[in-house]
Chain A
């Protein structure tokens, strides 16, 4: 019997759940797969519907979550086994070797310059490179390096060792091994979030073929001052700044043919935000959003659309759209339909609101935990109306996008809600 709780996934939903529990005096183990907590929200530039800077409001929460006396944040780790039941789950956590001693590394960055190996940065959506030794982003928590063993020539071929030489704190250890931690917890919160679907296979949008077609997450990184282009919006073909932007909605979503018949809930809003931000960057930028239904239906959202139209000149066109290209200029051409007539219009850049899908590994995790997932891979609540987030396994609860499309405020509320359910379960189990 224990009152400790485990949270799996360190995005905003998991962070909120962990903080709510820790603030109640409970010990929380937060297991995050990547080298840093923060999740997708750390990648966003600004956030709708108030357009405040995403990392600016998230960073204090990340720091809080990490330095809270009641939390144990375990990054670069995954849950690989669970036994027992509510009140005493025995969880096996695989802590991957990061080849850098977390207690010694200060994140000074001396090692970075010396590393010869370049890898497309996952955090920057491949728009820039990182090194084999890296911190995913500036505000990463914990602020320590990780060596990606697949790309480190010292680990793969025994050649290099530059970073170890550069590190004055002797933080680097090429001999580090994966570890299995065994933890006992009374309840578990699962908040493993989402991925962005790769639209290359949907050829009608030209992603991957036409250089000036981007995904929304790429664009979010690009307009971010700390991003790969330092906030400059640039075409892939000629690095020129676009003036005419097109945003295409429901790319892969609401589309049974590609297997995502559902609506992702957030992309109508994020494209509107991204259009506003384009205008905030440069007065001459003009955005057009091609949409099926403008799903702006939470608090303050419709007013946000009205503001985009009125104050930012965003143009909304109610139509499906596909993309062709002017081969000479590499200008994307959007083909759409108004009142039954086909039209085409040339733009400088196209941004695709791609489907947001549950992470693939979440399915494996579901197996380990004994949870059910729906046909799309979202984790299922056992009681759909009155106890969202409750699962078929007593003592395991869901929060955030992994349990179905949710924006930040909903993910936060669900994080708190899962925390309450975890406490209730432990109290009821006699803890």
Chain B
């Protein structure tokens, strides 16, 4: 790192402007060379050039060399978006000894070339305007010091399902003490409901038992069962949390990071496909519970209806797991039906949701099978294939698409077809219908190949309903000041490159609370979240950006309006009763400044003077 260049705010600005072609992203639509020439004519601009890719190593070298050779003390890069590239250019300035707050970004790609692809002239003019504004702002920039904030090397994980347990154990194994808060009396989450798991086909309970035991036994994990977060105050590295349990005293703790793993529930398909209206219409989860209890009624014919409530029917999204879960259960029925039935038959158990046992004469089943075989042009074949023990049970999966993604699921899907599970496609123009024909539960559907309405008497209808966000996710989202996205799932910082981070530093997310995922995916996200959370904890500190609000105590009346509006909880009342900024928590969003009735709040690095200068530069006619 080069020696720090001392820049006094009173020194005359010496501005360098680097205009980027971004390959052809900008260069293809804007006359970049002429824009760079124009920049040279602006006040205090000492040096201006164009780069094919300013962010490539040679572009960065040209910035460093510019600073050295021309004694530049303000840098402007006119290129893409600060969201992805500001840290890089700031670091480049720092590596040449220039305070990173003397850098300013001008976006001539998203804000210019990409929206004016067919207007080269106008686009070029606009790029000039934007750079003129940037120069006006850069002239008023002053160096800023960043605050270093210590990070408490411990965490809290909220939710004790497979994701929460994995995240907690990962942090614990890395050597960080961690609180694990689960609102139920037991660990395990949704998996506790399940019968067996796909891929291994092993019992769900047995599979997660070692995980639960390890979590309970780990010396670094402090378990809080039957508990919930009562409050969270503070900011990265310094969260004061209160954990509350019914009838017990609140537990207070200080943690450095937070991981959210509160999972999801299954959608209850009230009003769809005869659910709660006809007997023997159950959801996938209910079906798994029946299997687990070995409490299935006698059946010959089972229909599974996919996308019950998902992909636009009620919820917009595809729930990712239900196709493969349906396939797992279809295979279970074909392979293990007798076994799961056993107990029910012995005890004569009748389950509330499945009070009716439909008995269809065997010969009808046989005839029906032959008829269906004919429909598929498979006559003759049907009887030759050797069937398993439950040869008399038929499973039909009504689906829109089967999401058997990846290696294992596709192979299992093939296996299900080999086992004569039938897959019948439906479209949203012709949804299957579930109704009673006399005493007979029946599915009516549209045969897409024959273009005919068909009916199928069934003994049970299983509805594959989507995972849905926890109804109280909003409360947690407000407590932590992190966003919920579409349909109430937590929203990550960047869909592709930051899948388990929140935009707020120090808080992370994993498992089905961020969207449908299976166990493997949920626990992978969990250890990813632990990895991310461990970064500031291993370092022991974070550097807070010097982009914060500043309260002028002489103007502040202590009305508290700003405290209300701050989305990051970064303002509090000081002992004097005036507004006070928690620098490490402030994101510099400016909400407080905009609402303060006394005009007492300004932003470092975005001062009123800088913004006004920009605005004036925008309005000024080009000379």
A327 part of interface (Cβ distance < 8 Å): no
The answer, yes or no, to whether B28 is at the interface (CB within 8 Å) is yes
User: What are the 8 tightest A-B residue pairs by CB atom distance, in nearest-first order?
Assistant: A416-B528, A420-B531, A143-B57, A299-B515, A226-B23, A293-B401, A424-B173, A225-B24
Cβ–Cβ < 8 Å partners of B530 in chain A: 420
Contact: A303 with B317, CB < 8 Å? Answer: yes
Considering only residues 195-224 of chain B, those with a C-beta below 8 Å from chain A are: 197, 199-200, 207-208, 211
User: B387-428, CB under 8 A of A: which get 1 and which 0?
Assistant: 000000000000001111111111100100000000001000
Contact between chains at B489 and A299 (CB < 8 Å): yes
* Contact indicator per residue, chain B 496-521, by CB within 8 Å of chain A (1) or not (0): 11111000000000000011100111
B533 smallest CB distance to A (angstroms)? 9
Q: Told that A294-B401, A388-B524 touch, could you supply 15 new A-B pairs with CB distance under 8 A?
A: A60-B88, A63-B55, A67-B91, A106-B61, A107-B57, A226-B23, A256-B414, A263-B410, A297-B319, A297-B320, A339-B449, A385-B197, A404-B406, A409-B499, A424-B173
A347 CB within 8 Å of chain B: no
Contacts A408-B496, A417-B524 hold; do A423 and B534 have CB atoms under 8 A apart?
yes
B367 proximal to A (CB < 8 A): no
B56 at the interface (CB under 8 A from A): yes
Query: With A49-B495, A300-B317, A302-B318 in contact, is A138–B23 under 8 Å at CB?
Result: yes
Residue numbers in B under 8 Å from A293 (CB-CB) = 401-404
Bitwise interface map of A from 59 to 72 toward B, beta carbon under 8 Å scored 1, else 0: 11101100100000
- Cα of A61 to Cα of B311 in the assembled complex, Å: 34
Cα(A416)–Cα(B510), bound, Å: 12
Determine if A421 and B402 form an interchain contact, defined as CB atoms under 8 angstroms apart. no
Q: Kindly list chain B residues whose C-beta atoms are within 8 Å of the C-beta of A170.
A: none
User: Once the chains are docked, how many angstroms separate the CA of A139 from the CA of B52?
Assistant: 10
Instruction: Determine, out of A19-27, A147-155, A178-186, the stretch whose residues face the partner at the interface.
Output: A19-27
A389 at interface by CB-CB < 8 Å? yes
Complex contact A141–B57 (CB within 8 A): yes
Whether B495 lies near A61 (C-beta < 8 A) is no
* Shortest Cβ distance from residue B321 to the other chain A in the assembled complex, whole angstroms: 9
CB-defined contacts of B535 to chain A, threshold 8 Å: 20, 23-24
**A388 to B208, alpha carbons, bound, how many Å?**
14
Q: Are A340 and B515 in contact (CB under 8 A)?
A: no
- Find chain A residues with CB under 8 A from B401 CB: 293-295
The verdict on A50 contacting chain B, using a C-beta distance below 8 Å, is: yes
Q: Across the two chains, which residue of chain A brings its CB closest to B404? A: A263
| Chain A 244-267 residues near chain B, CB threshold 8 A | 254, 256, 261-263, 265
Asked if A262 and B411 make an inter-chain contact with CB atoms under 8 angstroms apart, the answer reads: yes
- A298 and B524 contact, CB distance less than 8 A: no
Asked if A34 CB lies within 8 Å of chain B CBs, one says no
CB distance from B103 to the nearest CB of A (A): 15
Task: Report yes or no: B495 in contact with A262, Cβ–Cβ below 8 A.
Answer: no
Chain B residues with Cβ under 8 A from A47's Cβ?
496
Q: Is A321 an interface residue (CB 8 A)?
A: no
> B44: shortest Cβ distance to chain A, in Å?
28
Q: When the two chains form the complex, which single residue of A25, A300, A339 contacts B538, counting CB atoms closer than 8 Å?
A: A25
- Is the CB of B278 closer than 8 A to any CB of chain A? no
| Per-residue contact bits, chain B 344-379, to A (CB 8 Å; 1 contact, 0 not) | 000000000000000000000000000000000000
Q: Given the complex of chains A and B, what is the CA–CA distance between A34 and B273 in angstroms?
A: 55
Q: Residue-by-residue, is B51-66 near A (CB-CB < 8 Å gives 1, otherwise 0)?
A: 0110111101100000
Bound-state Cα–Cα, A389 to B521, Å: 11
B104 at the interface (CB under 8 A from A): no
Stretch from B79-87, B436-444, B564-572 forming part of the interface with A: B79-87
Residue from the list A139, A297, A306, A385 in contact with B405, Cβ < 8 A: A297
Interface size class of A (residues with CB under 8 A): 35 or more
Contact of B207 among A263, A378, A386, A405 (CB under 8 A): A386
- Verify A299–B317 contact, CB threshold 8 A: yes
For chain A residues 38-84, which have a beta carbon within 8 Å of chain B?
47, 49-50, 52-53, 56-57, 59-61, 63-64, 67
Return the contact of A385 from the options B53, B58, B199, B451 (Cβ within 8 A): B199
B24: A residues at CB distance < 8 A? 225-226, 230-231
CB distance from A73 to the nearest CB of B (A): 12
Chain A nearest CB: distance from B101 CB in Å? Answer: 19
Interface size class of B (residues with CB under 8 A): 35 or more
> In the complex, what residue of chain B is closest to A374 when comparing beta carbons?
B407
CA distance A296 to B527 in the complex (A): 25
A428 in the interface (beta carbon within 8 A) = yes
Residue pair B495, A50 in contact (C-beta under 8 Å):
yes
Is the CB–CB distance between A262 and B497 below 8 Å?
Answer: no
**How many A-B contacts are there with CB distance less than 8 Å?**
218
Kindly state whether residue A173 has any CB partner on chain B within 8 Å. no
- The docked-state distance in angstroms from the alpha carbon of A384 to that of B406 is 14
Interface residues of B in 269-298 (CB under 8 A from A): none
Q: B531 near A417 (CB under 8 angstroms)?
A: yes
List, in ascending order, chain A residues with CB within 8 A of B197's CB: 385
Decide yes or no: A143 and B56 within 8 Å by CB, A20-B532, A294-B401, A410-B521 being known contacts: yes
- Per-position contact with A for B61-98: 1 when CB-CB < 8 Å, else 0? 10000000000000000001000110110010000000
CB < 8 Å neighbour of B539 from A24, A230, A254: A24
Whether, in the assembled complex, A412 has its beta carbon less than 8 Å from a beta carbon of chain B, the answer is yes
Measured CA separation A374–B84 after assembly (Å): 38
In the assembled complex, B43 has its CB within 8 A of some CB on chain A: no
Contacts of B448 in A (CB 8 A): 339
CA distance A60 to B79 in the complex (A): 13
For residue A409, which residues in chain B have a CB less than 8 angstroms away from its CB? 495-497, 499
Does B495 lie within 8 Å of A300, measured CB to CB?
yes
Binary flags per residue of A216-233, CB closer than 8 Å to B gives 1, else 0: 000000000110001100
Contact B23 A262 (CB under 8 A): no
Q: B464 within 8 Å of A by Cβ?
A: no
8 A-B contact pairs sorted by A residue (CB < 8 Å): A53-B25, A59-B56, A60-B55, A138-B56, A263-B407, A298-B320, A299-B489, A412-B498
A139 to B323, CA, bound (A): 41
Q: What is the CA–CA distance of A293 and B399 in the complex, to the nearest angstrom?
A: 10
A419 on the B face (CB < 8 A): yes
**B411: min CB distance to chain A, Å:** 6
Chain B nearest CB, measured from A380 CB (Å)? 10
**Inter-chain contact B55/A413, CB cutoff 8 Å:** no
Say whether B84 contacts A60, CB under 8 Å.
yes
Q: Give residues of chain A (387-413) contacting chain B, Cβ–Cβ below 8 Å.
A: 387-389, 404-405, 408-410, 412-413
CA distance A394 to B406 in the complex (A): 25
CB pair B531 A139 closer than 8 Å: no
Question: Given A339-B448, A420-B174, are A299 and B523 also a contact pair (CB < 8 Å)?
Answer: no
Distance (Å) between the CB of B537 and the closest chain A CB? 9
Give bound CA distance, A44 to B85, whole Å.
Answer: 19
- Residues of chain A with a CB closer than 8 A to B22's CB: 56
Cβ of B162: which chain A residues have Cβ within 8 Å of it? 386
**A142 in the interface, Cβ–Cβ < 8 Å?**
yes
